């Protein structure tokens, strides 16, 4: 690190930009906590899972599999498939880190690489100061963890109507991630429609409905993503 | 319950996610070259999140219409680039309001 005061500035800027992320995380992780509770996790376990994983869709799928008493291999494979996108994100970030950046910074930046923190980290001009990422994480990660814990605890106290309504929030979050890029990219729009249609068929069609949720996610993700990748390869910028 | 220990589940989740995030930053110092793998990974989040959203959103409440309204409202809100928290809140509100009619 070149300059300590520079690090502090980036950390403060990270906290500032991390606040809107934290607010969103708090609401969404509350519904994730409800999902965790439904899967049989207690508040501590849910908070632990959220703090150590920091992944919305990944955790949601994980809780679904835990509820289904999936095997460890199923959980590992599903987690791998669902979170594979982080691999590309980290690849992009690796190009933005100083070549001589100490190893422990790489280990730490990787831990906090959520979709939103990635989005802000990758859009900084020039090289990324890891303290910017840490600043965002300093507010976003506790919000995510606390929200999950409160979701488990208050999921019980809140009226059933409210809990049911809140559990729709996670789907809203997913829509907020997948829909905007579909505006200007017809392939993504087509992929979304195909995926939802196929998922519907796999959920209700005879025989296919017998396939477990986790397996369905893996099969459809690999099949449709591979098909799209072959037919509509992404043009490099 | 040695076969289904919750802490082992949590550890597996965290370990797999961390490895995915940290390996490119530490071991792989070059970009993925294969256009096929790059394209595949590019589409993965869209397929996975779509598959997880639908038809599961219809089972949010006992009345599928509530989830359907939430889906439509959520897609419209997201289309007009409302923030993550706004889209999520609107979906919750949709389900809540539709449920009041039953």
Instruction: Return the number of other C-beta atoms located less than 10 Å from residue A212's C-beta.
Output: 14
Domain extent for B16:
2-99
The conformational region for residue A205 under phi > 0 = left, psi -120 to 50 = alpha, else beta, is beta
Cβ pair B74:A27 closer than 8 A = no
Which of A53, A33, A51, A52 is CA-nearest to residue A43? A33
B69 interface with A at CB cutoff 8 Å: no
B-interface mutation test, from A58, A104, A163, A176, most B Cβ less than 10 A away: A176
The interface predicted TM-score (ipTM) is 0.85
> Please, what is the average pLDDT of chain A?
88
How far does the CA of residue B74 sit from the closest CA of chain A (Å)? 6
Q: Is the pLDDT of residue A1 over 60?
A: no
State the nearest Cα–Cα gap between B69 and chain A, in angstroms.
Answer: 11
How many domains does chain B contain in total? 1
User: Rounded distance, CA A71 to CA A177, Å?
Assistant: 29
Q: Is B101 on the interface with A (CB under 8 A)?
A: no
pLDDT confidence bin for A236, thresholds 50/70/90: low
User: Which residue does chain B place closest to A218, by CA atoms?
Assistant: B48
Q: pLDDT band at residue A23, thresholds of 50, 70 and 90?
A: confident
- Span A19-28, mean pLDDT? 79
Contacts of B57 in chain A (CB under 8 A): 168, 171
Which of A55, A65, A175 is facing B17, going by the closest CB pair? A55
pLDDT tens digits along A70-128: 899 999 998 988 888 788 778 778 878 888 888 999 999 999 998 888 877 877 888 89
Please give, rounded to a whole number of angstroms, the shortest distance from the CA of B102 to a CA of chain A: 11
Residue bearing tokens 């987690």: A79
pLDDT digits (tens, 9 = 90+) for A149-169: 999 999 878 787 887 888 788
The domain spans of chain A are 4-166, 185-231
Q: How far is A215 from chain B (nearest CA, A)?
A: 12
Better-scored residue on pLDDT, A11 or A68 = A11
Predicted confidence at residue A16, as pLDDT, reads 87
What's the pLDDT score for residue A28? 79
Residue B1: the pLDDT is 45
Report the alpha-carbon distance of residue A82 to residue B49 in Å, rounded.
8
Using alpha carbons, select from A191, A29, A190, A168 the residue that is nearest to residue B71: A168
- What pLDDT was estimated at residue B32? 65
Which DSSP string corresponds to B10-68?
Answer: HHHHHHHHHHHHHHHHHT--S----HHHHHHHHHHHHHHHHHHHTTGGGGSSSSHHHHH
């Amino acid at each position: 690190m070149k300059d300590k005061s520079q690090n502090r500035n980036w950390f403060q800027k990270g906290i500032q930009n991390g606040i809107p992320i934290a607010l969103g995380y708090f609401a969404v992780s509350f519904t994730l906590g409800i999902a965790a509770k439904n899967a049989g996790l207690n508040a501590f376990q849910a908070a632990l899972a959220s703090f150590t994983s920091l992944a919305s869709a990944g955790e949601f799928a994980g809780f679904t599999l835990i509820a289904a008493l999936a095997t460890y291999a199923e959980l590992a494979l599903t987690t791998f498939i669902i979170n594979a996108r982080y691999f590309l994100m980290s690849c992009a970030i690796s190009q933005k880190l100083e070549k001589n950046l100490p190893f422990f910074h790489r280990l730490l930046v990787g831990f906090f690489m959520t979709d939103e923190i990635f989005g802000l980290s990758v859009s900084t001009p020039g090289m990324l100061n890891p303290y910017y990422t840490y600043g965002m994480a300093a507010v976003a990660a506790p919000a995510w963890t606390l929200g999950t814990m409160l979701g488990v605890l208050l999921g019980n106290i809140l009226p059933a109507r409210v809990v049911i309504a809140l559990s729709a929030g996670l789907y809203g979050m997913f829509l907020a991630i997948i829909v905007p890029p579909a505006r200007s990219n017809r392939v993504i729009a087509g992929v979304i429609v195909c995926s939802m249609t196929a998922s519907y068929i796999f959920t209700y069609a005879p025989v296919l409905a017998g396939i477990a949720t986790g397996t369905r996610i893996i099969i459809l993700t690999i099949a449709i993503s591979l098909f799209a990748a072959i037919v509509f390869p992404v043009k490099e910028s | 319950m040695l076969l289904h220990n919750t802490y082992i589940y949590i550890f597996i989740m965290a370990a797999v996610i961390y490895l995915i995030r940290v390996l490119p930053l530490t071991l792989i110092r070059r970009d993925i070259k294969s256009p096929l793998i790059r394209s595949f990974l590019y589409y993965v989040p869209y397929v996975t999140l779509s598959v997880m959203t639908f038809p599961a959103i219809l089972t949010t409440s006992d009345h599928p219409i509530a989830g359907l309204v939430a889906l439509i409202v959520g897609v419209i809100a997201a289309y007009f680039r409302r923030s993550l928290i706004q889209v999520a809140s609107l979906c919750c509100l949709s389900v809540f309001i539709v449920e009041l009619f039953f």
